[in-house]
């Protein structure tokens, strides 16, 4: 969930800098099948762009607010179709 583009945006963020890393093991979403999470598809680029824009617009966001945004994205119907269990720590 923390792709390299999102990680770069987080490193520039005033309050979230240093708290997350690319492919952070705390935030993993297991796809329902290979096709749902294969490659860097348009839906994934769209999510990255949305998160990066949100970070720019919320320069004083707390970790809780950032997590709420990720939960909102991964709770959407179209995202739940790909990732029916949402996200959580790597097991």
Per-residue model confidence as pLDDT tens digits over 12-32: 999 999 999 887 777 777 777
Residue 8 — very low, low, confident or very high, per pLDDT cuts 50/70/90?
very high
Say which residues have a Cβ less than 8 Å from residue 5's Cβ, sequence separation at least 6: 48, 52
Would you say residue 37 has pLDDT above 80?
no
Phi and psi torsions of 88, nearest 5°: -175, -175
Task: Please give the model's pTM, rounded to 2 decimal places.
Answer: 0.84
Percent of the chain with pLDDT over 90: 49
Would you say residue 90 has pLDDT above 60?
no
Cα distance between residue 27 and residue 67, in whole Å: 10
Domain ranges of the chain: 4-82
Residue 42 — very low, low, confident or very high, per pLDDT cuts 50/70/90?
confident
Question: E strands along the chain, which residues?
Answer: none
Provide mean pLDDT across the span 33-59.
85
Find out whether 54 and 46 touch, Cβ atoms under 8 Å.
Answer: no
Cα distance between residue 40 and residue 47, in whole Å: 11
Distance of CA 6 to the CA centre of its chain: 7
């Amino acid at each position: 969930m923390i792709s390299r583009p999102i990680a770069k945006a987080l490193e520039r963020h005033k309050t979230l800098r240093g708290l997350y890393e690319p492919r952070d093991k705390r935030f993993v979403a297991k796809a329902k099948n290979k096709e749902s999470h294969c490659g860097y598809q348009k839906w994934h680029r769209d999510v990255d762009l949305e998160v990066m824009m949100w970070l720019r617009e919320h320069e004083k966001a707390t970790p809780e607010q950032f997590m709420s945004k990720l939960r909102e994205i991964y709770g959407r119907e179209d995202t739940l179709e790909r990732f029916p269990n949402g996200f959580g720590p790597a097991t």
